[in-house]
Structure 1
Amino acid sequence: LVLIVVAAILGNGLVCLAVYCNSKLRNMFNYFLVSLAISDLMSALFIMPMSIFKTSTDHVIIPKLMCVTWYSLDVLFTSSSICHLCMISVDRYLTLTYPLKYGHSKKKKHTLMKIALVWIISICIAGPLFALTWIDKEPLVNGTDNSRDGISFYLPLLIMTIMYALTVRALRLQVQERRRLEATTTAATTSRSSTATLNIGDNFSKKSSFSSSFRISPSFRRIVFPNQKRKASAPAVASMAAAADCKQDLYCQKVLGILFVVFVACYLPFFALYLVRGVCDRCRPYITVEILVALEWVAYSAALINPIIYHVFNPDFRRTFQQLLRCRC
């Protein structure tokens, strides 16, 4: 368990340092990842050690203020993690679906405002739970045993699932449309460059009524139509920019999808059994504290897996991690 804590601290610390040291990593998507890494880092620093303590001691009465604070921070950082993924899903869906209206939101200022909103929402979720748990007269033995924080998981999970499905659909339609436009543009450009039509002047037309269509060489085209290359380059640049944006969107969607799957795989078993244990009295004997503790640490392991995902799927992160570990940054 201690190794998980240490690895989570080092991994998420490297993510924050990598974005700080490498300007190539400073973009809207990675700013969200840094904020998510900070949430995981805080969880590794303040939540996991306390969890190790309470699981290694048998039925020790923990001071109520300490236990309620730990419980509220646990809810805060868990809510923050899923709210980050939820906000990224919503943001990417709006950007893809309404690019003219939400395209300006890629600015750093707007991104920081969205990150601040995520933390405000997380605090609003954890704050009332802190108050309700504090005024609860039942003793807190070896942790808190209630299912009030289930809504902080299931509601954002539902929103994120819907938004991710809609985003994948919008991105697929966008990729198909771009491929269709690129194919049409390529066909039109090929037809234009291979054949040219020369209309002879009015006087000659009256005498011979002549119009010819013939092939011209690239050198002749550059002499007669000097601006043609310059005009053709603008669509080419636009096409390259669109292709780059499409590639970036696909990368972001892939990473977001993997983060989503990892988060659900790590957290859903714990929250599902935790909810069942809270509402089903007959199920309580079968859902032991040992099972919940094991699933709790499976959930905590998501903080360790996230930096590995960035390392695997982003070469810039990978190179920067290596430089930081070699003290070359």
Structure 2
Amino acid sequence: MDSTQHNGQLNDSWRNREADTYSGVQDFSWTVFLAVLMGILIVSTVLGNALVMLAFVVDSSLRTQNNYFLLNLAISDFLVGAFCIPLYVPYVLTGRWSFGKNVCKLWLVLDYLLCTSSVFNIVLISYDRFISVTRAVSYRAQQTNSRHAVLKMSMVWILAFLLYGPAIITWEYIAGRSIIQEGQCFAEFFYNWYFLITASTLEFFTPFISVTYFNVSIYLNIQRRTKARLDLMHEAQSQTTTEDIKVATQQARSSSLKCWKLHQKMTRIGGSDRQKSLKLTESEMIEKAQGVKRTSLNGSTLAVTGRSRCTRRSLNESVSTPSLEKKMRMVSQGISQRFRLSRDKKVAKSLAVIVCIFGLCWAPYTLLMIIRAACRGQCVPHYWYEASFWLLWVNSAVNPILYPLCHNSFKRAFRKILCPQKLKIKPNSKFHPCWK
């Protein structure tokens, strides 16, 4: 009995050690998997946004006011991948913050600053596109004024810092105590529902509504301009057709009158010859009759030739009428307007993609953060909150991918950086102007 009980205890202890070993192997595999994913996210975020910044150095055509706002966004996303994510990876894998309290505060200030500036930059980009479409004339007049662009870019960083920075730095001094224990790193207002709902309104809800409004306005403006352009083309086409019919009728009448006079003249010539032939002898009358036939035939030929010449002259005159100039002007205006509308449609599509991804990445974190603060972390599992937190950084990695997909200028600049040999085209090649 004692030996059986002893063997049972040995079997239980062996099973426990086996379970602990299996659990340890599983935890190690999961840790390695997470580390690989985080490494891929860091590399893609840093390289993608570094490529955007390098494009501004290589391609001078990108240095426009609206593209400077994209550069501002790329800088904030680059710093997220270069500083914020690498410091957080050991914290996630080990569950302990090992860099001290001061570094923790610095990391929190930069993390909130960079993520918020990324949001505000998206709002600024959408607003800039909205002005360029709805107020094209005044927008083009401001393109040469770089001071306004620099001022807007600076305001993005100042507002992003004021939203969270002072609270992170001074919260524990105002509250009189710190709720952060040793080995932890999070903001002091982590469970303050009132502050989080206010900050979330300024950081997510207001920007999201603003960006949606700008893009819907751009889309409606493009639809209205397209309809107006089609109506104008139909109206101008109908007016041009009516004018052409009037001009052609008048020219046909004048040419018919000229040809009729010519025909009458030739007929009179033929008739006088026939009267003279009555006084001649029969042989002379036959000869004269043959001459009259030739004359009449030549006269008809001349009449027909006269008609064809009159017709050609009338067509040449109709071609040189002012209606042709009007048509050419309409065609030129239509081509330029179609080009602008096509460009605006591409802008609207690119912004719609950026806004949708922005909403998908930020909405889960914002909602879960508010719910977690309201119930003090008791109603939201930690892994859901952690997953929504990582979505914020995924947005920083996705943003540089959207640029080459939605902007031809960035496609050209990226090809110049990544594939410089493909752009070395001979000067006499017929495709050479396409790359200028």
* TM class by smaller structure: 0.7 to 0.9
Q: Percent identity?
A: 23
- Larger RCO: Structure 1 or Structure 2 (Cα < 8 Å, ≥ 6 residues apart)? 1
Q: Using the alignment, how far apart are the partners of 1:51 and 1:16 within structure 2?
A: 24
Aligned-pair CA distance for 1:270: 1.3
Q: 50, 56, 64: which is aligned to 1:19?
A: 56
Distance 2:171 2:314 in 1: 82
| Equivalences, count | 314
After TM superposition, list the pairs within 5 Å mapping 1:179-328 onto structure 2: 179-192=230-243, 196=247, 198=250, 219-221=316-318, 224-225=320-321, 232-281=327-376, 284-326=377-419
1:90 counterpart residue number: 127
CA 1:15/1:83 → structure 2, altered by over 3 Å: closer, same or farther?
A: same
Partner residue, 2:212:
161
**Aligned-residue RMSD, C-alpha:** 3.2
Task: Give distance in 2, aligned partners of 1:34 and 1:131.
Answer: 28
Q: Match for 2:223 among 155, 163, 172?
A: 172
Partner of 2:96, secondary structure, is: coil
Q: Which has the higher helix share?
A: 2
Match of 1:50 in 2: 87
Equivalent residue letter for 1:268:
A
Deviation at 1:50, TM superposition (A): 1.6
1:70 corresponds to 2:107 = yes
Query: Partners in 2 of 1:266 and 1:9 — Cα distance?
Result: 18
The residue type paired with residue 156 of structure 2 is V
Query: 2: distance between equivalents of 1:119 and 1:174?
Result: 36
Quickly say closer, same or farther: Cα 1:186–1:269, change in 2 above 3 A: same
Counterpart AA for 1:63: G
What displacement does 1:16 show? 1.9
Secondary structure at the aligned position of 2:378 is classed as helix
Q: Which runs of 5+ in 1 are unaligned?
A: 202-213
Q: TM-score, normalised by structure 1?
A: 0.81
Residues 194 and 9 (structure 1 numbering): CA distance in 2 closer, same or farther, change over 3 Å? farther
Distance in 2, matches of 1:57 and 1:26, equals 44
- Do 2:66 and 2:128's aligned partners in 1 also have CA atoms closer than 8 Å? no
Distance 2:151 2:315 in 1: 53
Q: Distance in 2 between matches of 1:250 and 1:216?
A: 46
Aligned mates of 1:216, 1:263 — CA distance in 2: 66
Select the structure of larger CA radius of gyration: 2
Contact map agreement 2:77 2:118 (CA 8 A) in 1? yes
TM-score normalized with structure 2 length: 0.63
Residue 108 of structure 1: how far off its partner (Å):
5.4
Shift in Å at residue 193 of structure 1? 5.0
Q: Which deviates more, 107-116 or 293-302?
A: 107-116
1:138 matched to 2:175? The reply is no
Query: How far 1:243 sits from its partner (Å)?
Result: 1.9
State the 1:273 CA deviation.
0.5
Deviation sequence 1:164-199 (CA, Å, 0-9, x none): 333322332222222322333344445545652659
